[in-house]
Structure 1
Amino acid sequence: MARILDGRVAVITGGTAGIGLATAERFVAEGASVVIVGRRQEELDKAVAQLGIDTLGVAADVARPEDLDRLYAEVAERYGRIDVLFANASIAEGGAMGSLTDSHVDRHIDINLKGLIYTVEKALPLLSDGASVIVTASVDEVKGGPGRSVYAATKAAGRNLVRSWMQELAPRKIRVNAVSPGITETPGLAKLGGGGDTAEFFAQLAATMPDGRNVTPEEVAAAVTFLASPDAAGINGINLPVDHGQGQG
């Protein structure tokens, strides 16, 4: 039985943990050749070993355009094209109004916004006609919240980029969509708990969710895999919430 991503080449930024790694696992299971991108070589090596054959790991920081140039040069040399680009790399750090710093603002803009823009921009020569681009947005793009204003603003900007890119890339039949996770149990989110009991922190967050449970990385990965697949051929420019209804409250 054919797998839905057989023969496709996929690049995933932020691919060493959480949503990115879960999506890489799903892509591999569905037959794709996968390139995962991360900033830390040790985590990258561990993820590549976990994913197995036909997986390439490239150490790169999406906030550094020269790293993206090197990434895509390696992809071009090994595969010659990209059929699926999952622009997933981002950060979320707490920052309350009245105590915002240049460093906090710049980091979010450099990684979540400029990093996203150049991840897609620099991939264009390698993207095959009919390729799928998926961007990780967030429920916070519409809800926001205390201490998350800068993060939420970058995610709202990313969602709006999808609307424009979808139109600009239409002549090449490249689909561009966003996926918006709600509260998702990832290592990145765990860090916002301040180093305390992770299970207790996640339980507190789950109590705020409509169904009393947090999103899993695997649930987001399933949505991304659908958007990457031929089954989503008629879907373009959307934002697909994977949030257990969190964004509707």
Structure 2
Amino acid sequence: MRQLSGKVALITGGTTGIGFATAQRFIEEGAFVYITGRRRPELDAAAKSLGTRSAGIQGDVADPHSVNQVISAVMHRHGRLDTVVVNAGGGNAISLTDITEEDYERHFSVNVAGALFTVQKALPLMTKGGSIILVGSARASRGIPRMSLYGATKAALRSLGQSWALELAEREIRVNILSPGSIDTPGLHNAAHAHDDVARQQARDQMGSLVPMARIGRTEEVAAAAVFLASEQSSFTTGAELIVDGGQGQV
């Protein structure tokens, strides 16, 4: 039997990278998956690629009204959610001396407030035994030059998730944090300013040299961890941080 057979999942930021790979894997495991994205063309292309067991809903997690519309669309079609994967987020490399108020507001409105209100508004639809997965980052546990703002948002997300795990235990809803390290995604390439094949390979090699497993991760490896956290295989796991970083921050 497939691990997520009959489940209904919402994955924010599901058009590319980790979100899209997780949607693919959830569908393979039997779930119906809603994905969100801000840009309609990319959203429609992703939903078409995922097939009939998916639906794309345009939305921006930084806008509470938009989040309401996303949840309303799920309510209208399925009336419940078994899993919410809070994946939408991002950040830029900015040195301390260059951080502006706008940078601060942008990072925290998407990565923290966006996560908070997505979970809050999804709760009425969550089933007993449901799973909330917050996609954090290994950057929350280790200081990295020019990534202080991004790392702070992900540290805040981890703290929120641990508190929510306690609050929602009586409803038998599990909350866990999935924290990837360096993963081969468009976002990683953009952060490294790698915009052609040669530059992207150089970025992979450079980042991989810092990882004990001598490579950066693949999106499907993070998706496999998400399946574990969404499935009954993790029925006694809550408030945990599952780090998928090839050992870079562990050894």
TM-score greater than 0.5 by the shorter chain:
yes
TM-score range, shorter chain: over 0.9
Deviation at 1:195, TM superposition (A): 4.0
Equivalent residue runs for 1:154-165 within 5 Å: 154-165=153-164
- Rounded to whole Å, the distance in 2 between the matches of 1:211 and 1:5 is 30
Letter in 2 for 1:237: G
Q: Does 1:36 align with 2:35?
A: yes
- Rounded to whole Å, the distance in 2 between the matches of 1:156 and 1:13 is 19
Secondary structure of 2:188's counterpart equals: helix
Letter in 2 for 1:226: F
Letter in 2 for 1:220: V
Q: Does 1:5 align with 2:7?
A: no
Structure 1 segments, 4+ long, off by >2 Å, are: none
TM-score when normalising by structure 2: 0.97
Equivalent residue runs for 1:100-139 within 5 Å: 100-139=99-138
Structure 1 residue aligned with 2:61: 62
- Rounded to whole Å, the distance in 1 between the matches of 2:151 and 2:250 is 16
- Rounded to whole Å, the distance in 2 between the matches of 1:18 and 1:115 is 19
- Rounded to whole Å, the distance in 2 between the matches of 1:176 and 1:195 is 34
Q: Is the 8 A contact 2:194 2:203 kept in 1?
A: no
Structure 1 residue aligned with 2:172: 173
- Rounded to whole Å, the distance in 1 between the matches of 2:3 and 2:141 is 32
The C-alpha deviation readout for 1:56-105, integer Å capped at 9, x for no partner, is 10010000000000000000000100000000111121110111111211
- Rounded to whole Å, the distance in 2 between the matches of 1:73 and 1:211 is 43
Deviation at 1:144, TM superposition (A): 2.4
Equivalent residue runs for 1:156-235 within 5 Å: 156-196=155-195, 197-235=199-237
Secondary structure of 2:149's counterpart equals: helix
Deviation at 1:159, TM superposition (A): 0.5
TM-score when normalising by structure 1: 0.98
Letter in 2 for 1:141: A
**Structural RMSD (CA):** 0.8
Structure 1 residue aligned with 2:240: 238
Which stretches in structure 2 are left out of the alignment for 5+ residues?
Answer: none
- Rounded to whole Å, the distance in 1 between the matches of 2:191 and 2:52 is 34
Q: Is the 8 A contact 2:36 2:57 kept in 1?
A: yes
Which stretches in structure 1 are left out of the alignment for 5+ residues?
Answer: none
State which drifts further: 77-86 or 185-194.
Answer: 185-194
Secondary structure of 1:143's counterpart equals: coil
Report percent identity of matched pairs. 44
